[in-house]
Chains A and B, each alone.
Chain A
Amino acid sequence: MVRMKVAGEMSYEAFAAENPASGAAPAPKQIRPAPDRRTKETKIWAVGGGKGGIGKSFIISSVAQCLARKGHRIVLLDADLGGANLHTFFGVDRPRTTLTEFFERQIPLSSLVCETGVPNLGLLIGALDTLAADHIRYSQKMKLFRHIRTLPADYVLIDIGAGTHFHTVDSFLLADTLIAAVVPELISVENLYYFLKSVFYRKLLRAMSENGWKTIIFETWKNRRNLGIRNVKELTDYLRTQSGEISGVIDEALSDFLFHIVVNKVRRRQEIKVGLGVKSICMKYFGLDARYAGYIEHDELVSRSINKRQPYLQTHTGSRCSGQIEVVAENLLQQKAFG
């Protein structure tokens, strides 16, 4: 936990290598971008969590405002392609430009960024009128991901939406800083675990596929009952025993893999510790590195602000909830643990 490291990043080359159908030539296996190649480029943060209604959009839009206030240039991207609603948080009415223009009319991403009324903070709205969001082609998605890094911003913050569909998971894996949101309720924790495991499995699958071992991981997971594999940790443990090379690939995939847990809608003092519990389970049961970035307490005024279409942080600057959001933003920025 004390390791400081650059969070995971998935290069376009890696995407292309996994799916040659995307039109790009498969990149040679051994060429991987140096980890610090992007330090001066746009950093990507994404928030996910599996369950809907746990405040992912609220968290990411509030954190975005905190970062923008500090003078960072932020673009907030609503990648919830079928259910975009981030614009509502800022009271942006019927946005004229959305990702639809990018997908259908090839308009560059940077010219689709709308103003939010908050200095330094731009908003890219998901495709509002794409009814069949699931049918966005893989190549379209890859193009979007490729273009995100070229946006004129210090940070691009992505709201990926609910669920564990591979579109959602892929958008999440795009980020350098992975934020996992949860509320202190059993269902939410359960969904968070499903989500984190899917994310991890997809990450592992990619790393293995890059080396041409896609079938190994498929076959292992298919035969998991016979092999006595009950969880992702046992899966990686088993794969590690297969060969030193595989072990190396897994180590590399895991080495820059870190979740930042944010607990939202805390109503009681004891619920603050849910974040610590979830972090511990991630580390001890799943073998995933995790950090507890902080909590945000429940505030009735949040939903009232949203209904009034006013950004909560602007209308309730001094509230406890705002203070906690600032702590979360600062911890994420410093890659620090809460407490």
Chain B
Amino acid sequence: MTPPAGKPAEIIEALQVLELPAEATLTQIRQSYRFLKDLYGGESIATLPVSGEISTKDRQQIIEKIDAAYEALIRFFEDERGRDLSVQRSAPDEIARYLADVEEITGAVLKTVRKMQGFVPEEVAAETRIPVLNLERIEQEDFAAFPPPVYTRGFVSGYADFLGLEADRASSDFMRRFNAWKENRGGGNPPHRFRLAFWKKKK
């Protein structure tokens, strides 16, 4: 195994702690970190059968190792990109507490969770292939500017999935609000600014 150029051995090691290959992206690192913190911080069918095999202290050590690896990786990427990535980063349990009080997944909720996880829209766009413009429209619930519902639904579920939320719940919550908005303005699909803009440009 040869580490790819530009990645020191301790970074490769940190990636191994997060169970990631050497070429892992920042997004993968964040997702894996969140997943492992949830896994070792809580109880699930993967951890329950072995809960008696390991002491609380050892488990704590694993969590500390995961934290340290993540910190090292974030620092590495910060140096590489020359940008502070950790400003708005919140701990996974803080996000879980926030989500526990959420009754309906709205654009604002998606935005809050994204910020708590410390992502900028460009990073989400790079991973999900949802254009930044549409991510912003979803967050602001700019219903009039949405692409046709079939796309909107796909975008919302893709975005929610990226954030680690329940994609089906997010898209149904969101579409319910979208439909309520349509009813209020007299039914029917919104005039497609999306499509009109396209034709206008052609002219």
Binds A, one of B46-54, B97-105, B172-180, B194-202: B46-54
Query: A231 to B45, Cβ gap below 8 A?
Result: no
Please name the residue on chain A nearest to B12 by beta carbon: A2
Residues of A within 8 A of B1 (CB): 2-4
Residues of B within 8 A of A278 (CB): 46
Binds B, one of A17-25, A40-48, A101-109, A184-192: A184-192
Highest count of chain B CB atoms <10 Å: which of A274, A284, A337 = A284
Query: A193 to B49, Cβ gap below 8 A?
Result: yes
CB of A276 closer than 8 Å to a CB of B: yes
* A333-B142 Cα distance, complex, nearest whole Å: 47
Binds A, one of B16-24, B115-123, B145-153: B16-24
- The distance from the CB of A270 to the nearest CB of chain B, in whole angstroms, is 8
Query: B53 to A186, Cβ gap below 8 A?
Result: no
Please name the residue on chain B nearest to A2 by beta carbon: B21
Please name the residue on chain B nearest to A186 by beta carbon: B45
- 8 Å CB contact of B45 from A189, A276, A283, A337: A189
Please name the residue on chain A nearest to B32 by beta carbon: A276
Residues of A within 8 A of B141 (CB): none
Residues of B within 8 A of A274 (CB): 44-46
- The distance from the CB of B8 to the nearest CB of chain A, in whole angstroms, is 15
Identify which of residues 1-32 in chain A touch chain B, using a CB-to-CB cut-off of 8 Å: 1-4
- The distance from the CB of A279 to the nearest CB of chain B, in whole angstroms, is 7
- The distance from the CB of A211 to the nearest CB of chain B, in whole angstroms, is 27
Q: Give the number of residues in A that approach B within 8 Å (Cβ atoms).
A: 26
> If A230-B54, A277-B39 touch, does A283 touch B46 (CB 8 Å cutoff)?
no
Highest count of chain A CB atoms <10 Å: which of B19, B22, B168 = B19
- The distance from the CB of B171 to the nearest CB of chain A, in whole angstroms, is 12
CB of B62 closer than 8 Å to a CB of A: yes
Query: A1 to B21, Cβ gap below 8 A?
Result: yes
Residues of A within 8 A of B76 (CB): none
Query: A1 to B20, Cβ gap below 8 A?
Result: yes
Residues of B within 8 A of A230 (CB): 52-55
CB of B166 closer than 8 Å to a CB of A: yes
> If A1-B16, A1-B20, A2-B1 touch, does A277 touch B47 (CB 8 Å cutoff)?
yes
Mark A99-122 against chain B: 1 for CB-CB distance below 8 A, else 0: 000000000000000000000000
* A30-B48 Cα distance, complex, nearest whole Å: 42
Residues of A within 8 A of B45 (CB): 184-186, 189, 274, 277
Residues of B within 8 A of A276 (CB): 19, 35, 39
CB of B138 closer than 8 Å to a CB of A: no
Query: B62 to A284, Cβ gap below 8 A?
Result: yes
Query: B39 to A280, Cβ gap below 8 A?
Result: yes
CB of A138 closer than 8 Å to a CB of B: no
Query: B44 to A269, Cβ gap below 8 A?
Result: no
Highest count of chain A CB atoms <10 Å: which of B1, B49, B167 = B49
- Chain A residues in contact with chain B, CB under 8 A? 1-4, 184-186, 189-190, 193, 230-231, 269-270, 273-274, 276-281, 283-285, 337
A-B contact pairs, 28 of them (CB 8 A): A2-B1, A2-B22, A189-B45, A193-B49, A230-B52, A230-B54, A230-B55, A231-B50, A231-B54, A269-B161, A269-B168, A274-B46, A276-B19, A276-B35, A276-B39, A277-B45, A277-B46, A277-B47, A279-B19, A280-B39, A281-B39, A281-B46, A281-B47, A281-B50, A283-B19, A284-B62, A285-B50, A285-B53
